[in-house]
Amino acid sequence: MDGISASDADLLLRARQGEEAAFVQIYQRYRRSVFQFAWRLTGSEAAAEDVTQECFLALLDGAAYDPQHGALRTYLLGIARHRAIRRVRALERDSEDTEDAPDTIDPLGELLAAERTEMVCRAVATLPLPQREALVLFEYEELSMEEIAEVTGVEVGAVKSRLFRARESLRKRLAPLLSAAAARSSG
């Protein structure tokens, strides 16, 4: 872990000195993580691309990364979170007039209308933003509670609470899928 962090710091230093290859190496190392996190928060590929670009440019512009205080990936996800939240709020303001998502999903209608992944996507999208980001970071980026706390700027206890509520909410919303999955695994 220390070796990787030191290498990141070295690459970042060289990138800031103008070495394009070092910058590209950092990008290639973390692009997937940053982009997919932003995509899962915003639900928009275009927004996720913009967020990804802004994150890596923020590194060049002298964003205060300190390798002593955590991994570069966590740091980048923190920047991505800020940028993505701004976009999500803007999108929410734009869609205030649209009707709210239902509390439960009609199983037959949804199964006819969309794939299972679409149901998961919609269920996650209906979570409040703090719960959504905690869930995405935990389930998809596989960050620890401590790392999530670092990215989101809250206490570990708050992360645990958000994660618990997110999972409970998803259990309710995705009940049809869960029972089908349980039936498949038992049968």
Residues that bind another protein (CB under 8 A): 15, 18, 20, 23-24, 27-28, 31-32, 35-36, 39-40, 45, 48-49, 52-53, 56-57, 60-61, 116-117, 120-121, 124, 135, 139-140, 167, 170-171, 174, 177-178, 181-182, 185
Residues comprising the chain, all counted: 187
Task: For another protein, give the closer residue by CB, 31 or 82.
Answer: 31
Distance of closest approach, residue 126 Cβ to another protein, in angstroms: 13
Task: For another protein, give the closer residue by CB, 69 or 104.
Answer: 104
Task: For another protein, give the closer residue by CB, 9 or 22.
Answer: 22
d(C-alpha 17, C-alpha 158), whole Å: 39
Task: For another protein, give the closer residue by CB, 4 or 178.
Answer: 178
181, 116 in Cβ contact below 8 A? no
Distance of closest approach, residue 68 Cβ to another protein, in angstroms: 26
